[in-house]
Amino acid sequence: MEQVKVIAPAKINLSLDITGVDEKGYHLLDMVMQTISVFERITLTKQDDITMSSNAKFIPTDSRNTAVKAAIKFFEYTGIKGGVHIHIKKTVPIKAGMAGGSADAAGVIVGLNRLYSAGLSTEQMCEIGLMCGSDIPFMIHGGTKRIQGTGDIILPAPQMPQCHIAVCMPTKGVSTPQAYANYDEMGIKTIVENEKLLKAMEENNLEEMAKYMANDLEKAAGSDETEPLKKLLLDLGAVGSMMTGSGAAVFGIFRDEETAENAVRAIRNKEISLPCAVRSVFLAKPVNYGARVTRN
């Protein structure tokens, strides 16, 4: 085998609760996360060294890129003498809180495991992932999970109720380190009730689930577009809306596909007056997997 192709889904946060800070200064979290059908597409080709290319001209293609770091750590971890050319076809916007970079890294680890027949378990792949970024283990697992600690504790969660998701990305992204620094400075805590959120999901109650979606970073992220976009999605028929991760993307949960499609079309084609500029808008569904090798 000389080449593999991988799809790596983006994620949204259904909740984000900052529970403290560890001895190294990292924020401790308690989150419910969900992978969705917005995909990064990664092609891995065997070669002697590690190189990278992408359709996105604005991202680094050297060791500053998390995908390249993941490849370096994979070969160090396994002791395999080899290399890879990584080509990433990006769809997930950067600085969106959708873990596009972590999805790329997860895709590289999963793909290299297949390309080089390394035989790593999911847990071992997650060990490599954690060396490169806190979201990567979840992006390897995918589905609906409760994530705690600094991203290293992955717990099962009830499957997200069937629904349709509209994701709006404003023109301006949000820096994750800056969002956390703002949170520390502001000291504004949101009420995040993960147990009630998970109970609603277990009962397959979409409206109740939407009621308990909450994100500690919404105010700290500093994006002026968050509240207007949440209101817009609710006005267009979403049963709930929230900023994902550290922002700046905002998503709305819709019960039926037609309402979600109409909302996305209205925003994309500017059929309605928009409260702010929107760089991109996606229609998605929850998916129950993380990065995986595909035939296409």
Q: What's the rounded Cα separation, in Å, for the pair 97 and 51?
A: 26
Long-range residue pairs from 91-95, CB within 8 A, at least 24 positions apart, any chain: 91/10, 91/38, 91/39, 91/40, 91/41, 92/10, 92/38, 92/39, 92/40, 93/169, 93/173, 93/249, 93/279, 93/280, 94/58, 94/59, 94/173, 95/173, 95/174, 95/175, 95/176, 95/247, 95/248
- Is there a catalytic annotation at residue 17? no
Catalytic residue, candidates 11, 69, 145, 219: 11
Active site residue 231: no
**3 state SS of 144:** strand
Structure tokens at 96: 């969106």
Q: Which of 17, 30, 104, 135 is catalytic?
A: 135
The burial of 285, by beta-carbon neighbours within 10 Å (0-12 exposed, 13-18 middle, 19 or more buried), is given as middle
* Residues contacting residue 75 through CB under 8 Å, at least 6 positions apart: 50, 81, 82, 83, 112
Place of tokens 């003498």: 81
Residues that are catalytic? 11, 135
